[in-house]
Structure 1
Amino acid sequence: MSPAPTPTTARVDQWVWAIRLYSTRSAATAACKAGHVKINGATAKPAQTVKVGDVVRAYTAGGERIVAVTGLIVKRTSATIAQQHYDDRTPPPPPKEERVLDIVRERGAGRPTKRDRRLIERWRGRE
């Protein structure tokens, strides 16, 4: 019995789930539908195919991840095998002293007003 042939393309939702960017296949599909997964800069639909050499940018709960496709898998395997199928190009997080401090509001101050929210966003650098 010969080994299964390696695929030339794979669905993006299967691939990002198989390399463990998302914990479930349905979460990967939902992220694609919401526009949180991009292939070579273009928003990807769940059934869009990826091939070796593509750059996938995914917004996850842990932050933005940028990975290059070096191999195709469609089934979830161990983490060590999954790491062989992508090259992580995510920039390292900034040092602690460069990170913006969280804004702490006084207890009982209520919801922030529109002006407060805009100031908070400006302090966090998301303007």
Structure 2
Amino acid sequence: MSEKLRLDKYLWAIRLFKTRSLAAEAIDKGRVKNQGVAVKPSRAVVVGDEYEVRAEARKWVIRITGLLQTRVQYSEAIKYYEDKTPPEELERLQFQAASFNTGKRLSKVGRPTKKDRRDLEDFTENS
């Protein structure tokens, strides 16, 4: 029996995209390629195919090892593909995450904080 599975549904099921429509949109925009050629959302997925997938902040190179019809939890989903992403892409992603804004203000940049204002007021009142 030959199962047929759409590419957009597969990418959604293995959790590379949050929704199937986001997967289809990425495919339509040419962000998913098979052997360097853009594909369509309705393309049938075949075990052994390799796809290059670009999402918002990440780029994957995956090899399909099994077909997954429904969305399952992440620990199960990773069993249906092999991540062949180059190491330099993973390093870039780690650097990007490390340099991500933590919410704290950089020292001596921007407006003074409340603590800075109180310290300044204390300094001017005591002199």
Which TM-score band applies after superposition, normalised by the shorter structure?
Answer: 0.5 to 0.7
Q: Does 1:19 align with 2:3?
A: no
Matched length: 95
RMSD (Å) for aligned C-alpha atoms: 2.4
Q: Identify, as 1 or 2, the structure richer in strand.
A: 1
Residue 91 of structure 2 is aligned to residue 94 of structure 1? yes
For the residue of structure 1 that corresponds to 2:91, the secondary structure is coil
Report whether the alignment pairs 1:64 with 2:59. yes
Question: Cα deviations across residues 21-61 of structure 1 (Å, max 9, x unaligned)?
Answer: 11111100100111111123221111011100000111011
Matched to 2:70, the amino acid is K
Alpha-carbon distance change, 40 to 10 in structure 1, aligned in 2, over 3 angstroms? farther
Is the 8 Å Cα contact of residues 39 and 50 (structure 1) preserved in structure 2? no
- Corresponding position: 1:37 with 2:37: no
Cα displacement (A) at 1:8: 3.3
Q: Which amino acid aligns with 1:66?
A: V
Larger radius of gyration: 2
Measured in 2, the distance between the counterparts of 1:72 and 1:37 equals 18
Instruction: Percent identity, please.
Output: 34
Gap runs ≥5 in structure 1: 102-106, 108-127
Q: Distance in 2 between matches of 1:81 and 1:44?
A: 26
Q: Name the stretch that deviates more: 38-47 or 65-74.
A: 38-47
Deviations 1:89-111 (Å, cap 9, x if unpaired)?
Answer: 01223379x99x9xxxxx9xxxx
TM-score, length of structure 1 as denominator length: 0.66
Q: Which has the higher helix share?
A: 2
